[in-house]
Amino acid sequence: MQTLESHEYGYLAELAKCYRDEHLALLKRHAGFNPRLGVDALCFQHIAPRISGASVMAGALITPCELWLVALPEQSTLQAPLAPECVLTLPSGRYTLQLERLPTGIEFYKRKILDDLSDLESLQEAARLAQRMMEQLMASPAEPQG
């Protein structure tokens, strides 16, 4: 896995902060709200598929309620406006993601993977879950034995 550059980590932190600022009030009203968790963008890596001509990072967005698969196009390299949804092809399969536009101008695609994180005890436990999710999504399906 390629290491991200410092400005990319900064952008992911900005994504998490902006998402939290936009959604926290709604998340707190969610039945499965877990006060031990925050909003964090984790396990991002560059992937080969491009979206609207832009390079893309894929990773996990953790909230106090949900775990999302996220595709984050490099905004400065977009060659066309983003469509309302995209199909992301990863080694494990094809996934349809929906566009989200934050008021700060950040645009990304997301797909809910888990909608109940109430059993998690800490953000570290959520981070391990996100890491396992990304490992599975980035792995090719096992060949049938026979």
pLDDT tens figures, 106-134: 999 999 999 999 999 999 999 999 999 99
Flag whether 121 is in a domain.
yes
Nearest C-alpha neighbor of 68 from the set 142, 126, 9, 121? 126
Name residues whose C-beta falls within 8 Å of residue 27's C-beta, 6 or more positions apart in sequence.
Answer: 33, 63, 64, 65
What mean pLDDT value characterizes the chain?
92
The pLDDT score that the predictor gives to residue 144 is: 52
Give the H or E element holding residue 20.
helix 6-28
d(CA 105, CA 90): 26
Q: Could you report the per-residue pLDDT of 35-50, keeping only the tens digit for each? A: 999 999 999 999 988 8
This prediction's pTM: 0.91
Q: Which domain holds residue 88?
A: 6-135
Flag whether 144 is in a domain.
no
The domain total for the chain is 1
Flag whether 140 is in a domain.
no
Flag whether 141 is in a domain.
no
Flag whether 66 is in a domain.
yes
Flag whether 20 is in a domain.
yes
Question: What CATH number corresponds to the domain at position 41?
Answer: 3.30.1460.40
d(CA 54, CA 31): 37
